[in-house]
Amino acid sequence: MTDETRATTVAHVSSGAAKHGSEYVEIFRLMFEQSGLCMATLDRSLHLREANIDFLAQFGRNCQDSYGLPFSAFLHPTVRRSIGRELELLSTGKRDRVGGDFIAVRQDGALLFGELTAVSVVGSLGEVDSILVLVGRTSRVGKAQAMVRRGMLLAPMDARILEGVAAGMSTGKLATVLHMSRGGVEYRITALLRRFKAINRTELASKAFSMGLLTTDSWPPTVQSAYMQA
């Protein structure tokens, strides 16, 4: 059974609970709390309403400091906008399910990579009551694991280039901001691609985040000082 199928099944049971009462409520609570899946429910404004133990453990959080937070607070800045748009479609009833890759930030600062499936839960009057989120196939890259070898320290200009790439800036924009020629920018980006063994800018940014070079708690991202040449 796929994560999407599991999420849909739980959502159907949750919808049944909203419509038919105690029997479905008991089944839903059992699935939510003891399924071994990382699950959470969001209200229509996309704030965390409830999460099971597996979800909280995966994100390194507890219910006291998590309930009521916007779900975007759990996500890495690079995916907040895209995932937010998808969840908004669910909350307004324009879609009934969404899914895809995501990057989250744990409470301890480690990055969490995985797959997210979300489905809408319909209330007794046919309106969207909540959003059920299922997180699966995750892998973690901690700060200690992501330490960069000395040979990977970046020159200040390469750091600025990498920051611009991670922020989605074009070659022309980077050239203007850094007072360089377009050719000079392209030359440095090509060198960074070779250095990080990345096939394109997206993979370059992804690797830089996963290795811990770029900050995960601010936007636009910046190269951490520990990884820059003096």
Q: pLDDT tens-digit profile of 10-42?
A: 545 454 444 444 544 554 565 666 566 788 999
pLDDT given for residue 24 in this prediction = 43
Residue 139 has φ and ψ, to the nearest 5°, of -140, 145
pLDDT given for residue 67 in this prediction = 94
Q: Does residue 111 have a pLDDT over 70?
A: yes
Residues 6+ apart with CB under 8 A from 34: none
CB 201 within 8 A of CB 191: no
Q: Locate tokens 């360089």: which residue? A: 180
- Give residue-wise pLDDT tens across range 45-95: 999 999 988 889 888 999 899 999 999 999 877 678 889 999 999 899 898
Residue 186 one-letter amino acid:
E
pLDDT given for residue 142 in this prediction = 52
Cα separations (Å) of 221 from 33, 163, 201, 206, 209?
36, 6, 15, 12, 9
The full set of domains in the chain, from first to last, is: 3-141 (3.30.450.20), 150-227 (1.10.10.10)
Q: What is the token pair recorded at 204? A: 């370059």
